[in-house]
Amino acid sequence: MISLSIKEKLKFLKVNEHNIYVIHYSCENLNDNNENISPRVTSIAALHLQSHTMHSFSIHLVAEKLHIGRDKIAENYNELEKQMLTDFYSFVRDNNGALWLHWNMSNINYGFEALSHRYEVLSGERGVRIQDTSKHNLSSLIIEKYGKDSIAHPRMKTLQNLNDGNHRDNLSGEEEVKAFQDKEFVRLHKSTMSKVYWFQSMYFLLQKKGVKVSNYNWSQKLNNLMEKSWVKLLGFIAVILTLAQAAQIAYAQLLVP
CATH number for the domain whose boundaries are 6-216 = 3.30.420.10
User: Residue-wise pLDDT tens for the chain (257 aa)?
Assistant: 578 999 999 999 999 999 999 999 999 887 756 666 899 999 999 999 999 999 999 999 999 999 999 999 999 999 999 999 999 999 999 999 999 999 999 999 999 999 999 999 999 999 999 999 999 999 999 999 999 899 999 999 999 999 999 999 999 888 988 998 899 999 999 999 999 999 999 999 999 999 999 886 554 555 555 566 665 677 667 777 777 776 676 666 666 66
Cβ neighbors of 173 (< 8 A, separation 6 or more) are 30
**Please, where are the H alpha helices in 124-154?**
138-146
- CB-based burial of residue 227 (10 Å sphere; 0-12 exposed, 13-18 middle, 19+ buried)? exposed
Which pTM was predicted? 0.83
> At 26, is the secondary structure helix, strand, or coil?
strand
